[in-house]
Amino acid sequence: MSLSERVTVTVPVPDLDFLKEYERAHGLRSRSAAFHAAIAALREKELESQYLEADEQWYGSEDAAAWDLTSGDGLGRDA
Per-residue pLDDT of the chain (79 residues; tens, 9 = 90+): 678 899 999 999 999 999 999 999 999 999 999 999 999 999 999 998 888 888 888 888 888 878 877 776 666 666 5
Question: What's the domain range around 38?
Answer: 13-69
Q: How far apart are CA 41 and CA 3, in angstroms?
A: 20
> What DSSP designation does 75 have?
-
The CA dihedral of 22, 18, 37, 7, to the nearest 10 degrees, is -130
The Cα 38–Cα 58 span in angstroms is: 30
- The answer to whether residue 18 sits within a structural domain is yes
Query: Is residue 35 in some structural domain?
Result: yes
Residue 67 amino acid letter: W
d(CA 35, CA 37): 5
Whether 19 is covered by a domain: the verdict is yes
The answer to the question of residue 63 being in a domain is yes
Q: pTM above 0.75?
A: no
